[in-house]
Amino acid sequence: MLITLVEAVDLALARALREDENVVVLGEDVGRNGGVFRATVGLREQFGPRRVLDTPLAENLIAGISVGMAAQGLRPVAEIQFFGFIYAALEHLISHAARLRNRTRGRLTCPLTVRVPFGGGIHAPEHHSESTEALLAHIPGLKVVAVSSPRTAYGLLLAAIRDPDPVIVLEPERLYRSVKEEVTDNGEALPLGRCLTWREGRDVTLVSWGAMVQDCLNAAAELERGGISCEVIDVASLRPLDMATILDSVAATGRCVIVHEACRSGGFGAEIAARIAESGLELIAPLRRVAAPDVIVPYLKLEPLYLPDTADVIAAVRAVMEDA
């Protein structure tokens, strides 16, 4: 069926709730209202209020309850309405969810999934447009994935829910309804810890995740008309990170542009760039990064000036081609 990313999330959640009676969905307005982005529409009606729970407006409470549920054999899927609201939940996610397996020497695990809309592009206030995924990817014990399309939303969310350890699933807000794709509700998950190669190319490797993958694909299509062939790598899993796929691609093309909408300084692209440098690969041209400036996401009409876009990716690729 041809569906949007937000519909793919809803489809995956319904599949998980049907498959496993221990799966529980919780969060602010996820039940009666179907979530702020309507990603949980109809689930409460199908599975009842004991499995699709509305919570108070308290992210610390949502995270704490979810850790307790997971430690006692449930598989909670918690929604944090926006990435900018997750900071209150970090105490439980970092100090407890991420450490439970190690703390108990494997006697307890924490099969917790946290869904978080992230990134800009919907002209919302600053706390609704955060892209600080590097904070989470820095934490041992947490797995972090970023979806980039309806198919990856369906497959990665199912994988996260079935995983025995805590997984943060980042869903790009501006792609919720802007992209449609054929998705089959067959229950097949995508593997965690693997990059996805969406387009093969010979001249430049584009490495990205989340919403910017679509910009990279658009840029690659435009550049192909001018004779520049781009390979597009969707990181998909920030932790664990599949560097083998990235390094194989960069070794073949000799050029690399890393693209993310988070601020440039300390962004996760810097980690990927460092690992490429440590690998000793001899590049034809210096690696480049496309990222947002080091400022807080501006409001409304200024947001397009802040967010990287397809034109920025094209400019970076042309620059690395000229650097050779």
| Active centre residues (catalytic) | 128
Give the position of tokens 């597009």.
232
Question: What is the largest distance, in Å, between two alpha-carbon atoms of the chain?
Answer: 60
For residue 25, what are the β-bridge partners? Answer: 52, 77
- What is the 8-class DSSP label of residue 293? -
CB-based burial of residue 204 (10 Å sphere; 0-12 exposed, 13-18 middle, 19+ buried)? buried
- What is the 8-class DSSP label of residue 296? P
Query: Distances in Å between the alpha carbon of 219 and those of 216, 226, 316?
Result: 5, 11, 10
What value does the CA radius of gyration of the chain take, rounded to a whole number of Å?
Answer: 19
CB–CB of 146/236 below 8 Å?
Answer: yes
Query: Distances in Å between the alpha carbon of 251 and those of 110, 141, 257, 258?
Result: 38, 30, 13, 15
For residue 23, what are the β-bridge partners? Answer: 75
* Helix residue spans in 72-120 (DSSP H): 90-92, 100-103
Residues 6+ apart with CB under 8 A from 18: none
- For residues 225-251, one letter each, b for 16 or more C-beta atoms within 10 angstroms of the residue's C-beta and e for the rest, the string is eeebebbbbbbbbbbebbbebbbebbe
CB–CB of 141/101 below 8 Å?
Answer: yes
